Structure formats: structure tokens, C-alpha cells
Amino acid sequence: MFIIENERIGLRPYTHGDDHDMYMCWKDIDTQKGYNGIFTDTFEQFSDYDINRFKFWVVVVDKYSNENVGVLRLGLDEVCPDLAIWIYPKYRNMGYGTVSFRLALSYIFNHYEYNEISAGCYCDNKYSMKVLLKTGFVRHPDGDETETNCFTGEKTTQMSFRIKKEDFELLN
């Protein structure tokens, strides 16, 4: 069932059976703010997404409660793909992000030929930044992107972070 696990959580492949939880996460305003995007898809549109395009798309499962608590997905870039995370609203700020990021990176670096993984968060997203730093990502300012915040109209910066395989292995 799990492709990788520890004593607290397991990561299992995402299927369309997980679409409802992920859709509800996207409907959450804090999720939309974290990705600087207003989500307007219907459930049918969302469920039509081609999940098979992604090598790594997993559900985070709390092994004690057997609850799905979030999702991680690796982007499509073949050199330095982006690892994205969505922790479902009622499970945020409970440590799931850090633990699942570590497990995901371990799996990715052991099963794919990537030497580096990127991740990003907006400058006002202190929780995501904390997860990235705790898992060993370092700032990569050359990858920062400035854009307009779709909620406030002000300029915001999506900060870029990266972690190299050898650095991750030294930390874990």
C-alpha cells in the first residue's frame, strides 16, 4: 500500500479516488492564497486532470488514524522538478508537512535520477518556508519570481528553494 513510510505516516500513490479530498483542499481560501491563484474549477473539471503525467504524486496518510492528511506531487521538469505539497486544512501545523517532505525526498532521490529538487513558497507563507528549511532546502534567489498577488493586487515574491541529493543524504 505505501511506497514509503515511517512510524507516523505513509505515502501511497494518488488515484482519482482521492480527487474529492484534493478538490476540497483547493476550495480552501488559504490553499488558494498559498498558490496565489483563485480556484474556479468544477469537480468534474478537476477530476478530468491527467494524473498519469506525473512520476510522483502521492497521498499522505496518518497511520494511526488512517486519515488522508495531504498530497505531494513532483513537477514535470526533468532536470530539477518542483516538489509541491498540499496539507488538508484541518491537519495543518501538526508536523505532517515536514515529515512527508522528508519521506518524499528520500523516495525520489532513491528511485529517480534527480540530483536536485526545487520548491517554492510565497514570501508571506511562513509555514511553508519553515517546512522547506527544516527539510534542508536552501534559498535559491536566482529562481525567485515577482508577480501580482491575485487577492491584494500588491507585488509578491515566490521564493525559490533547492536541495541537492548529496546534501539531503548528509542530513538524513
Query: Residue 131 in contact with residue 60, Cβ under 8 Å?
Result: no
Give the residue among 4, 2, 10, 1 at the shortest CA–CA distance from 110. 4
pLDDT in tens, 98-152: 999 999 999 999 999 999 999 999 999 999 999 999 999 999 999 999 999 999 9
CA–CA dist 152, 131 (Å, integer): 25
CA–CA dist 29, 126 (Å, integer): 16
pLDDT at residue 16 greater than cutoff 90: yes
CA–CA dist 62, 10 (Å, integer): 7
Residue 88's pLDDT band (cuts 50, 70, 90)? very high
Residue 171's pLDDT band (cuts 50, 70, 90)? confident
pLDDT at 82: 96
pLDDT at 130: 93
4: cell is 514509503
pLDDT at 92: 95
CA–CA dist 119, 79 (Å, integer): 13
Query: What are the residues facing 71 on neighbouring strands?
Result: 59, 86
pLDDT in tens, 25-75: 999 999 999 999 999 999 999 999 999 999 999 999 999 999 999 999 999
Q: Which residue has the cell 500588491?
A: 154
Number of alpha carbons in the 13 Å side-chain half-sphere of residue 26: 17
pLDDT at residue 6 greater than cutoff 90: yes
Largest CA distance in the chain: 44
CA–CA dist 44, 109 (Å, integer): 34
Neighbours of 166 (CB within 10 A): 11
pLDDT at 28: 96
